[in-house]
Amino acid sequence: MNNDDVVNMTQPPARPVRGTARIAVAGLALAGAAWAARAVWHIRLAVAGMPASGPIDQGGGQHREPTALEDSYHFVSSLGEVATVLCAAAFLNWLWRVRDNARAFSGERARYVWPWMYVGWIVPIMNLWVPRGIVVDIHRASAPGQRLPSVVNWWWGLWLAGMLGGVGLIYADDTDDVIGRAYTDVWQLLVADAAVIGAAVAAVLVVRTLTKVQQDRLDGTSQAVTASASAGPVAGG
């Protein structure tokens, strides 16, 4: 028994991925729609202009009552945060499945051990390349010799722009501060919004591309096994 036989015996077989891919796409669509709604509210706030009473944070620990538009933005922002969490859960669930399949296809241990599937997105510096590296490794194992789809780089570039833009996916300001920015520098918010929405769209294409690569390979294996089973009795006769 050689090493490949040992790996094949210990590694679970690849599993269908279409179901988890559909859930991931739905999550990404929800998150993209939520951030599009945020962008609409940013524009509405900019058009309305800052009230004569000034910003919500009056300084010295004093806050004025928010307007109806500002209050509705708090609601939209909260919905966006919930949608982002749901999207992350759905995307990671899909990523786990295709990662396991990639390992089953290649018979090799993944370059990034399992904790990096989570902490790779949040550990400073490492989060600049680890998640992309995971996706690249999955594609390499699933489609040996094939060129990495350009949409992976588009997705990652847009994700970084949204994450590092200072007003996108990760920012230190609270909601009231973001409202203040909408009154004074709305273009910064809209650039970050566009990057996040673009990253969501590109991520949908990444999910669909890698899912097709793996599902085609699974379907091809299944057809080969069926053909072999059908030919068996004939050869034995």
Residue 60 DSSP label = T
Q: Which CB contacts under 8 angstroms, 24+ apart, belong to 124-132?
A: 127/163, 128/160, 131/156, 131/159, 132/156
Q: Which of 148, 155, 120, 150 is nearest to 24 (CA)?
A: 155
Neighbours of 221 (CB within 10 A): 13
CA–CA separation, 13 and 205 (whole Å): 25
Q: Output the pTM of the full model.
A: 0.84
pLDDT score of 169: 56
Cα 116 to Cα 214: distance, rounded to the nearest angstrom:
22
**Model pLDDT, residue 95:** 96
The rounded average pLDDT for each run of 10 residues, N- to C-terminus, in the chain (237 residues) is 43 84 98 96 96 83 89 94 95 95 87 88 91 95 94 96 69 80 91 94 97 89 48 48
Query: Where do the H-state alpha helices sit in the chain?
Result: 3-10, 18-48, 68-106, 116-119, 130-142, 150-164, 175-184, 186-236
pLDDT attached to residue 166: 57
Candidates 38, 44, 87, 91; CA nearest to 67 is 44
SS3 58: strand
CB within 8 A of 194, min separation 6: which ones? 39
Looking only at the bridges linking them, the beta strands covering 62-63 and 57-59 are antiparallel
